[in-house]
Amino acid sequence: MAEHFRGELPRLLRILAAPAGFLPLGPALTLAVRRFARRKPAVFDRLGDYGKCSFLIEPSDLDISFLMVPDGTRAEVKCLRRRAGQTADVTVRGPLLVLLGLLDGTFDGDALFFNRAIAVSGRTDALVALRNAIEDAELTPADFVGATGGLGKLVDRSVIGGLGLARRFTGSPIPGEPS
C-alpha cells in the first residue's frame, strides 16, 4: 500500500499537476542549479565529494520524481515518471509543499524526519551533507528562477506567501511546531 504523509496536495490539484510530467522540467532545473552554483560556489564546496552523489526526490502526491546530482556547475536534474524504479544514493519522499519548505528553510529537515513527515533512505552521510549545505545556502524562490533585485524580491514575496497559504490549506506541519 502506498505511504501517505500529512500535507499532501488534494486530488484535484494532483490531476491538474499531472501534465507537468510532459514539461522540460529536468533541463530547466539543471540550468537553475548550475546558474546558482556559479553565483554561490561556497554552497557546493560545502558539499565536497557528496556533490557527486545522486538524490532522488519523490513528491508523494505527484506522479513524477526528480533525480539530482548537485555537482556544482556540472549539476544534473532529471525529471522521471515516479514508477521508473530509479535507485539513488539517497531517496527523500514527502508531500511537495513540505519538500519545497525544506529547500527554502521553512522546515527543519531533522524535525520533519524524526516526526515522520518525510521518509528518507540511503546514505545518511550524503543526506546530512546536503541538508547542511541547503541550511547555509539561504535559498529563496528567486534563486530558482534566477531573478535578482526588485524582481527577485517580488518573486520571493509572492511564492513564499503562496506556499504558506497552500500549506495551511493542505494541513502541512506548521514550521516550529511538533507535527
Partner 1 sequence: MSLELVCPAGTPAALRAAVEAGAHSVYCGFRDETNARNFPGLNFSPDELVEGIRFAHAHGAKVLVAINTFAKAGAMDAWKAALANAEKAGADAVILADLAVLDHAATHHPDLRLHLSVQAAAATPEAIAFYADTFGVKRVVMPRVLSVEEIAKLNAAIDVETEAFVFGGLCPMTEGRCSLSSYATGKSPNLTGVCSPPEHVAYSEDRNGTATRLNGFTIDRFGAGEQAGYPTLCKGRFMAGGKTSYLFEDPVSLNAASLIAALAKAGITALKIEGRQRGKGYVTEVVRTFRAAVEAIDAGGTEVEVGRLLAGLVEGGRQTSGAYKKAWR
The residue with cell 530558482 is: 144
Nearer to partner 1, 4 or 11 (CB): 4
167-170: long-range pairs with CB below 8 Å, 24+:
167/7, 167/97, 167/98, 167/101, 170/7, 170/8, 170/9, 170/10, 170/95, 170/97
Residues in Cβ contact with 19 at an 8 Å cutoff, skipping those fewer than 6 apart: none
Least Cβ distance, residue 12 to partner 1 (angstroms): 28
Least Cβ distance, residue 179 to partner 1 (angstroms): 10
* Chain residues that interact with partner 1, rule: CB under 8 A: 42, 45-48, 50, 105, 108-110, 113-116, 119-121, 123-133, 135-138, 175-176, 178
Measured in degrees and rounded to the nearest 5, phi and psi for residue 81 equal -70, 135
SS3 2: coil
Nearer to partner 1, 50 or 66 (CB): 50
Nearer to partner 1, 31 or 138 (CB): 138
Nearer to partner 1, 112 or 155 (CB): 112
Least Cβ distance, residue 131 to partner 1 (angstroms): 7
